[in-house]
Structure 1
Amino acid sequence: MRLKVIIPVVLLSVSAGVLAFNNNKLGHNDDPPGRYEVIMNLVGQMLKEGHYQPKQIDDAFSKEVFDKYVRSLDAEKKFFLRTDINKLTPLSTHIDDELKGAPLDCFRSINALIKQRVTEAASIYPEILSKPFDFTAEEKVVLDPEKVDWPADETARKEAWRKVLKYRTLEKLTDLQEIRDKDKKDSAGAKVKTDAELEVEARTKVKQLYDRYFERLKNRQNDNDRFNMYVNAITTTMDPHTDYFPPDEKRAFEEQMAGKFFGIGAQLKEEGDKIKVVSIVTGSPSWKQGLLKVNDVIQKVSQGNAEPVDITGYAVEDAVKLIRGKKGSPVKLTVKSVDGTVKDITIVRDEIVLDETFAKSAIINGQHKIGYIYLPEFYNDFNDRNGARSADDVAKEVAKLKAEKVEGIILDLRFNGGGSLQDVVQMAGLFIPEGPVVQVRSRGGDAVVLRDRDRNVQYDGPLAIMVNEYSASASEIMAAAMQDYKRAVIIGSSQTFGKGTVQRLFNLDDFYPVKDGGSLGALKLTQQKFYRANGGSTQLKGVSSDVILPDPYYEVAERKDSDALAWDEIPRASFTPWINPVNAESLRKNSEKRMAVSPAFKLLNENLATLKRLEKQETYSLNLQTYKAEQKSNTAALKKYDAVNDKVKELNIVNMKADLERLGSDSSKLARNKDWIRIRTKDIYLDEAVNVMDDLIVQSLPKMQRKADEHR
């Protein structure tokens, strides 16, 4: 019987980025819509009525979604056949109709077919790996799926699998041969495995790898998972940052923003097909109870008295989703200890704070005493009035550094993907007097200027901000504001990520309550666009650094996504530049001179050129001797990069006394802090940022004092 879907009567209005629904819900009759249909209806209407700049949801939109979804299910083109794609293509114009209430024929047809093809592939790889490969034959494999078509038939698909499996075995075989040859030198007289024996071992290892891969497909890709991917193919075709979150991912997103979650306080890792406990967080529920131990293997997870779920073969992130939950709720773990005993442990979940999410500072001693603040994201616990807020935390770090009488501060926003808009506005206000920080425009509306209204400046000394291509959203607002005011020097990539849009999270349950108490998930919807104080958008173009450092991270920015919104600009806001503006040009020239003669940066640039050359390689040899020759050449080229850190002077970076006292005697926290300091002592980018800051400190001194320093 065909489902008769009742289209919800939902009225939406956008005002200053707020999406409002009236109280009408999806109607009910004798044949109500299923969960998938309800989600599709709601998502379709929210995209159309609430998105900042909605695309026309028509056949062309549907075709783009279809291509994206099929590729997400079979990224390497090893499951579907060309005949499958041809058979499904007539349904590629159906997705816009499904969003308006039509039966989900496209999704269900693709879903049924991918399950069949995955089952077939699961029997292909063991058969191929049961026989030795001939590595003397001259043949090649293409690994980039963009360079190959779907297999024409089952024979072509099996051949595609054979070549990939042969390549993976070749990788393992050469690794094993290297280990054998090294051991042969180190332990003369010991029995040495033959190449034939190593080939068997290599195939065994590859089979284990694919056993786990298909086990994960079975565990992770059920109908619900594939439907979630389907909806996300729709939302991300509207723009890359509009996402559908099923319930567990919605919770994870909110936990990330808050910097805390409710769980048991055990750090886990994958070891083969097992989930093993690596450490126990001091003060956590696991620590207080005392039964769960390091190196225990978690075999099963159950919610209270519910049927346990066997997590053998699970990825860590999937196991974590089961173990986390509501505060005060019990989770039962079936655990195998090191001594072989198996037991059930019930632990009541409680709040776990992620210290690594929060702002952290240190002091770098050298030519000048420099404060360093690392901010991994612009976090804000919106659900807890007393929760952590990044703007408040950075203000505290600035106060601590000022008390230490630092001569300049470096704010590190590398790999910071953004977060709370409220916090970035407040944080910018720490460094400038009253004035506009960012302009935000909603769909069909005028731009609203978000300003710092506090005329006080917490820190008025030399300021540098480090960014890279992964710095996005709120990070770009912060860097752009400081650049527009000429308040700070921006150091890093030629361009930051280029995410100039604002999203808001909507619970779908608020619009259509589920009777059985389940959840429909949430939609993170793009509703606004950022503009700098100078009027230019950060969308697509990002922020251009004042001092550009060679960036090893490429092909990740917004401009690489064909569904990204376009760049534009609006009128400039009225603001007064910093009273002692940064002379970015002189800082850039000094940095370029240093990098031109720096052995470390010379090696880094050579390595980047090698990586980009290797990335263009389209075919790979399946002949053992040819492969070894190629690998030897590539390894020699890349090995030069190992010497880069050796040529970087070691920074004298230390914790403040108050921070060390806060860590106390917690061994796991002390170890993590030691690693945090260690990786920064030999950081080529931080090293050059310190050099730039040294120049900026001198530049910021009064002219008479600079002359006196030069004569010393």
Structure 2
Amino acid sequence: ELWRKRLKNDALTYKLNGKDWEFIQKTLKKRYKNFSQFLNQSNSEDVFQIAMNSFTQAIDPHTNYLSPVTSDNFKIDMSLSLEGIGARLQTEDDYTKVAEIIPGGPADKSGLLKADDKIIGVAQGEDGEFEDIIGWRITDAVKLIRGAKGTLVRLQILKAGSDLNAKPIEISLIREKVKLEDQAAKGSVLEIMNDEKPFRIGVIDIPKFYNDFEGQRNGDGNYKSTTKDVKNILDSLKSENVDGVIIDLREDGGGSLQEAIELTGLFIKDGPVVQVKNSEGNIDIAKDPDPSIVYDGPLAVLVNRFSASASEIFSGAIQDYGRGLIIGEQTYGKGTVQNLIDLNRLSSQKNLNLGQVKLTIAKYYRVNGGSTQNLGVVPDISYPTMIDPKDFGESSEPSALPWDEIKSADFNSYADLTKLLPEINKKHLQRISSNKDFQNLIEDIKIYKENKKKTFISLNEDIRKEEKLKEEQRKLERDQKIQTNDETELLDEEVPVIKNDKKDYILDETAKIISDYILMSIG
């Protein structure tokens, strides 16, 4: 009965969006066929991983078993590199399709493989036999296509737009180490006006705290590291004479603890960054060993509820030292430390991939003694948010460890920013009270919370149609207001000028806040 209602809801949603019954039937059949195929392609490794993690997460949300495939992907995620052909793949019906060609990889340099091409066969080396991969699940296809640097792989492909019955083309590629630059830290400059004064604000977007540990151990001078990349970006921004810097950690779920420590060191002279307490109660204080400061100017850190772990270590340290403003939403609240254990080490059999176990071994604490566990980092200036901490974050996990605190570490703060916060927050609230994007967000939050209280969705077509019309009317009225406001704001000198086409009103307001901070500091 539940599946019947779900299917009816899917069909009704399409119908209310103007789709005919032929389209609805075809689309839903395809959707549920793919869903069924995904379940049927699950193997013993998948089942074992699910079963083990059901057990471990009843004890701790961050203690997990990683199957061999998950383990390999985790290593790629941390190092921002892989050995393969340099293409992102996805499943389309029964086919493995090229979703994207990674710049600088073998596929890109050869020009033989393009986005939307379909790979139907894979062979190893000059004379290996082709394996037909039509109908394979994507993880198995990827495993066959990836391989050691310097090895040859042959692919049978159907070019984008060609008939599925067309004769496949055979291509050969030499696998290389491919760097995933799109997930690395990136810098840009945001130009704004505030109080009739121009400001150039540097923005550094850090999607994750990454480090190619293997490359570092092997002495590769070009190994990827968050701190190395951010240092280079800071040097570049300083040469552009920026007035302040924003570190954007939105959606940054963490990564390397050591990178969080070293990144903090770019903004402080030296001293403790984080305290780590193990299960026996022993406390280790991790310090920035480098007395040099790469950037000592005005700083803000932008966070949201998805900023976690290493992001919280960095933003917590910056807040405790009074080194910069923390702006955005209360962070995730993951204050535990995990260690990876390679299960292959426990087996006497060679060439056996058993995966890894990720174990929680300690809790970390800010230099002021407070834990980020459950609580996260509370921003100095808060933005409106749809996320309730009870619904998402560490505090929503039933098996999460509680918040606590220990003795503060010995450290010297740079400034007491709390004295400036009331005035900065006042200016911020005044701005967003007349900012259409923030007011739309506040309105959306109100509607979301009202809808969240509903315990059912109507499957009556007339009722759903009426609800849809009301929502469309609300959006139409909003769009009309936006068009009117945009015509007016073309004459407003304080509208930020961004060096990219995508407007980010959250980032715009953060730049305004740091410029307020600069004005108050020099005023």
- Same fold flag (TM > 0.5): yes
Listed one character per residue, the Cα deviations across residues 135-179 of structure 1 (whole Å, up to 9, x for unaligned) are xxxxxxxxxxxxxxxxxxxxxxxx3322222221112222235xx
Pair 1:300–1:641, CA change in 2 (3 A):
farther
d(CA) in 2 for partners of 1:318 and 1:167?
33
d(CA) in 1 for partners of 2:251 and 2:421?
23
Pair 1:283–1:463, CA change in 2 (3 A):
closer
Mean Cα displacement is larger for which, 239-248 or 593-602? Answer: 593-602
Higher alpha-carbon Rg = 1
Listed one character per residue, the Cα deviations across residues 183-216 of structure 1 (whole Å, up to 9, x for unaligned) are xxxxxxxxxxxxxxx3243222211111111112
Kept after mapping to 2: 8 A contact 1:498/1:559: yes
Alignment of 1:8-407 (within 5 A): 159-177=1-19, 198-219=20-41, 221-301=42-122, 305=128, 308=131, 310-312=133-135, 314=137, 319-337=141-159, 338-339=161-162, 340-366=166-192, 367-385=198-216, 386=220, 387-407=223-243
Instruction: Structure 2: give runs of 5+ residues left out of the alignment.
Output: 193-197, 490-494
Q: Which of 341, 347, 351 in structure 2 is aligned with 1:512?
A: 347
1:292 is displaced (CA, Å) by 2.5
Task: Tell me which residue corresponds to 1:589.
Answer: 426
Instruction: Structure 1: give runs of 5+ residues left out of the alignment.
Output: 1-158, 178-197, 655-676, 707-712
Q: Give the counterpart letter for 2:177 in structure 1.
A: E
1:343 is displaced (CA, Å) by 3.5
SS at the partner of 2:58?
A: helix
Task: Tell me which residue corresponds to 2:456.
Answer: 619
Kept after mapping to 2: 8 A contact 1:500/1:530: yes
d(CA) in 2 for partners of 1:522 and 1:256?
15
SS at the partner of 1:351?
A: strand
Mean Cα displacement is larger for which, 570-579 or 300-309? Answer: 300-309
Task: Tell me which residue corresponds to 2:492.
Answer: none
Pair 1:244–1:331, CA change in 2 (3 A):
farther
Mean Cα displacement is larger for which, 413-422 or 286-295? Answer: 286-295
Pair 1:318–1:475, CA change in 2 (3 A):
farther
Kept after mapping to 1: 8 A contact 2:276/2:286: yes
1:444 is displaced (CA, Å) by 0.4
d(CA) in 1 for partners of 2:199 and 2:114?
46
Kept after mapping to 1: 8 A contact 2:274/2:366: yes
Q: Which of 379, 397, 422 in structure 2 is aligned with 1:545?
A: 379
Mean Cα displacement is larger for which, 337-346 or 532-541? Answer: 337-346
Task: Tell me which residue corresponds to 2:299.
Answer: 463
SS at the partner of 1:691?
A: helix
Is residue 653 of structure 1 aligned with residue 498 of structure 2? yes
d(CA) in 2 for partners of 1:441 and 1:641?
51
Task: Tell me which residue corresponds to 2:289.
Answer: 453
Task: Tell me which residue corresponds to 2:360.
Answer: 526
Pair 1:204–1:283, CA change in 2 (3 A):
closer
- Structure number with the higher helix fraction is 1
Task: Tell me which residue corresponds to 1:502.
Answer: 337
State the Cα RMSD in Å: 2.4
Q: Give the counterpart letter for 1:502 in structure 2.
A: V
d(CA) in 2 for partners of 1:489 and 1:380?
26
Kept after mapping to 2: 8 A contact 1:498/1:543: yes
SS at the partner of 1:368?
A: strand
- Structure number with the higher strand fraction is 2
SS at the partner of 2:57?
A: helix
Pair 1:211–1:499, CA change in 2 (3 A):
same
1:408 is displaced (CA, Å) by 0.8
1:282 is displaced (CA, Å) by 4.1
Q: Give the counterpart letter for 2:12 in structure 1.
A: L
Kept after mapping to 1: 8 A contact 2:308/2:334: yes
Pair 1:311–1:233, CA change in 2 (3 A):
farther
d(CA) in 1 for partners of 2:333 and 2:137?
34
Pair 1:468–1:327, CA change in 2 (3 A):
same
Q: Which of 224, 231, 252 in structure 2 is aligned with 1:416?
A: 252
Task: Tell me which residue corresponds to 2:195.
Answer: none
- Percent identity of equivalent pairs: 37
TM-score in terms of structure 2 length: 0.88
1:320 is displaced (CA, Å) by 3.6
SS at the partner of 2:501?
A: helix
Pair 1:644–1:458, CA change in 2 (3 A):
farther
